[in-house]
Structure formats: C-alpha cells, structure tokens
Chain A
C-alpha cells in the first residue's frame, strides 16, 4: 500500500484514480492509513458486499477476507486489466503504472503474468510477520 501511495501522483498523471478495498472497518483501516501515510482512500467493506460482488471473498480465512486483486477500470466501467491472488501481489506498482500509461495511449493491456505455484510456507511466514507486527485479530464480540 505504501508503494502505491508513493506513486499516487504518477497514477494521477497517467490519468488514473486509485482506491483500495478490504473488509477492515474504519477502526482498523484508519490507523493503518495514518501509520503508512497513505494519500488515497481505504474503502471499508466490513459487510463483504463488494468483495463478494467481485467474487473475491476468501471464506477460509478469519471470517472472510478479500483475495488480493487489482483492476484497471475505464470510463465505461469496463475492466481493462485484472490481476488475481498471488499474481496480484506480484504485479508491482511500476508494472501497474506502466500498464495504465499504455492503456492511456490506446495500447492493449498485456496479459497478466502466468500464475505460478508459491511455496506454501511463504504464506505462513507472511502471516506470522503480520501477526508479530500488528497483533492477532480477535473476532468482534
């Protein structure tokens, strides 16, 4: 998220507005936004309606969270690019920015990088790091 924020002006210069969505409520998302100094909105979908509408609800984790995904949407509300799951986390901000610039010039978007297997241990390490850094999430009472 911090990477996106650093490139926010570049996205705008390329003609793109940027928003991020998670199932976090404001009480979770706002401290995160402030801590990271994010300059774009963090949209809160605690009811998971939008995450579901986009087919991205991961019910296996923690009451349901969003699978990571990125979309580039044009003025007709048509999806021009999408990257899903582990691919989404590997699409760097620079790649996404380059893509938006290319789309802006009327060049067709390249296909998303091929999905490759990820060593499952990486997920646990990342989860553990997150837990250490931010604390373990306790279900709402």
Chain B
C-alpha cells in the first residue's frame, strides 16, 4: 500500500456513493448531513 495515496488526517475524505447490501445507495455527504458529528468508515477485506 502506498500510504501517500490514502487520505491522511486533516485532508478531505473522497466522496462516495455506493449501494449497500440491501440496495440502498449511501453517500458520504448524506451520511454527514444526517445530523451526526462524525462518520466512521471501516474498510474490510470481505468474504473471500
């Protein structure tokens, strides 16, 4: 992994719009606008 390609503390997190496993599209901006102070985004390896 090239850590320089990964957003660091103080940088902007790239926007995303992805369907969840039930088909609902989730946008980072919408999650932020949901009224919470923070969004915790966890990337995981997945089922393999």
Residues on A facing B (Cβ under 8 Å): 1, 4, 11-12, 14-24, 26, 28-30, 32-33, 41-45, 49-51, 53-56, 58, 61-62, 65-75, 77-82, 84-85, 88, 96, 100, 103-104, 109, 130, 134, 137
Contact = CB atoms under 8 A, between A and B. Distances in A.
Contacts of A12: 36
B48 A55 contact: no
Interface residues of B, number: 42
B10 to A, nearest CB: 6
Q: Summarize B's interface: helix, strand, loop or mixed.
A: loop
Contact of B11 (A26, A78, A88): A78
Contacts of A42: 20-21
Interface of B: 1-16, 18-24, 26, 28-29, 31-32, 34, 36-48
B43 A70 contact: yes
Nearest to B14: A53
A84 B1 CA distance: 9
A54 B43 contact: yes
Contacts of B20: 19, 26, 29, 41-44
Given A4-B42, A54-B43, A74-B38, A33 B21 contact: yes
6 contacts: A18-B42, A22-B47, A29-B21, A77-B15, A77-B32, A104-B38
